[in-house]
Amino acid sequence: MTLIRYENRLPVLMRRMFDGDYESWTDKKFSTSPATNIIDRADDFLIELAAPGYQKQDFNIELDHNRLTISAERKQDDNLSRDEEYIRKEFNYHDFKHTFSLSDWVVKNKIDAQYENGILRVSIPKREEIKPQPIKKIKVN
């Protein structure tokens, strides 16, 4: 019996098709969305987006009726001198756009956002009537 080693030939074929520029072509043509957490807390919903390398001014947050849209646009800065060139470049900052549908359970005019240590946090307060209520003791007469 002869063992045949499996080798994925697709990357080789793609590199040939794009004249060896496959990796940089994919980096430029496809954007990625940042990893997102949505946390249900007692007083609010918290959206966290992992977006390291951005600045506060790169973000745009809009509320249109029940749709909250978080987007970012960042220009690539290649601060290399004339005698420098990248051998490998993996730091890429892509534009992104996330849209969330909000329910009537939230207070839309009190949404707050903060960006710190590469994490964008958007707090969406809950309406009072849906917040957890403490257990009420009823006295027996």
Q: What is the CATH number of the domain that holds 104?
A: 2.60.40.790
Give the tens place of pLDDT for each residue, 89-112: 777 778 899 999 998 889 999 999
Is 84 within a domain? no
Q: How many CA atoms lie within 13 A of 10 on its CB side?
A: 1
Domain that residue 70 falls in: 32-75+94-132
Which tokens sit at 52? Answer: 């390291």
Is 11 within a domain? no
Q: Residue 58: is its pLDDT beyond 60?
A: yes
Shortest CA distance to 129 belongs to which of 111, 109, 90, 103? 103
Q: Residue 24: is its pLDDT beyond 80?
A: no
Q: How many domains does one find in the chain?
A: 1
Q: Residue 16: is its pLDDT beyond 90?
A: no
Report the distance separating Cα 8 and Cα 57, nearest Å: 42
Give the tens place of pLDDT for each residue, 29-50: 445 678 999 999 999 999 999 9
Is 123 within a domain? yes
Name the more confident of 79 and 48: 48
Q: What is the pLDDT of residue 63?
A: 95
Is 39 within a domain? yes
Is 23 within a domain? no
Report the distance separating Cα 92 and Cα 116, nearest Å: 19
